[in-house]
Amino acid sequence: MNHKLLFLLITLFLLPGCQPGPESSVEDDDVVLVLVDGEPVTLPMLERVMRAQGVGEDDHDRMRELLDELIRMRAVANVAEREGLADEPEVRAELRLRELELLNHQYIGRLQRQHPVSDEDIEAVYRRQRERAGDTQYRIETITYPEQAEALRALARIDDGLDDYDTVRAEAEAAGLAIEQPGWIDLSQVPEEFSAALQDREPGSVATLPLDTPQGWRLVKVIEQRELQAPPLEQVREGIARSLLQQRRQSLVEEIYEQAEIEPMLPLEE
């Protein structure tokens, strides 16, 4: 608990006519600043709102305003509870969802603080990315086919010399297929099984496999090549750290999910 903040509130900033409740001497996490119709507004509640709004301890006027807002919210909530609003199905569901979100966020956050991403973790990822990226960047153009078989047929026509890329491209454009130039990429930005098909492609040549993407199967032509200038570690450190945290979060959620005992309570379709 922030004892300095509590002292300031008790001695200076409680609203006229509002006094700390009798529970103000209990344990730190349960310090009650005000009772509103018998229901508490606590110090941790005020501290949480102050953090969310970026209010410092020295901003006494804003602290008092926030406490006043909390008191008003508590008064309205008390009336809502007395009138049974919290028992209505839609409100009850919303309260449960917010509780789920809060507990998920707080639990994952606590574990991530207990096991932070280390410099060694970041450096290891950076080394692996450098190795995967190789020494070359490729500027490419792609034709996206909705089905793999269509992309393979177009690629076979080029490989067999029946048509050149420009002919295939013109047909795709006439058919309304997406033709894009996504810019410069390196081998770390494509699946490993495709990187071999792209590696060492000369400008003007087509990769020997179509690229599987969420948008469809892409025929890839290399337009240009250049030497890869990899960014220094410090430039990408934060991005790698965020990516690692996200990966760990997903792994943790999946692990907990797999261990959970899940019992359907309604008949489910096959």
pLDDT in tens, 36-62: 999 999 999 999 999 999 999 889 999
Task: Give the DSSP letter string of 139-204.
Answer: EEEEEEESSHHHHHHHHHHHHTTSS-HHHHHHHHHHTT-EEEEEEEE-GGGS-HHHHHHHTTPPTT
* pLDDT at residue 201, as a whole number: 85
Other C-beta atoms within 10 Å of 55: how many? 18
Cα-based angle 29, 65, 26 (whole degrees, multiple of 5): 20
Contact assessment for residue 143 and residue 169, using Cβ atoms and an 8 Å cutoff:
yes
Averaged pLDDT for residues 229-233: 90
| Cα-based distances in Å from 24 to 28, 29, 35, 74 | 9, 10, 10, 17
The pTM score is 0.62
- What would the CATH number be for the domain defined by 134-227? 3.10.50.40
Please list the residue range(s) of the chain that carry CATH number 3.10.50.40. 134-227
Is 219's pLDDT higher than 90? yes
Average pLDDT over residues 138-142: 94
pLDDT band at 268 (very low <50, low <70, confident <90, very high): low
pLDDT at residue 199 in the model:
84
Structure token digits, residue 63? 């602290």
What pLDDT does 242 receive?
93
Per the CB < 8 A criterion, the answer to whether 74 and 36 are in contact is yes
Q: Are strands 39-42 and 136-145 parallel, antiparallel or unpaired?
A: unpaired
Burial class from Cβ neighbours inside 10 Å (0-12, 13-18, 19+) for residue 187 reads buried
Q: Does position 27 have pLDDT exceeding 80, yes or no?
A: no
Helix axes 233-259, 119-133, angle to 10 degrees: 110
Res. 200 pLDDT band, cuts 50 70 90 = confident
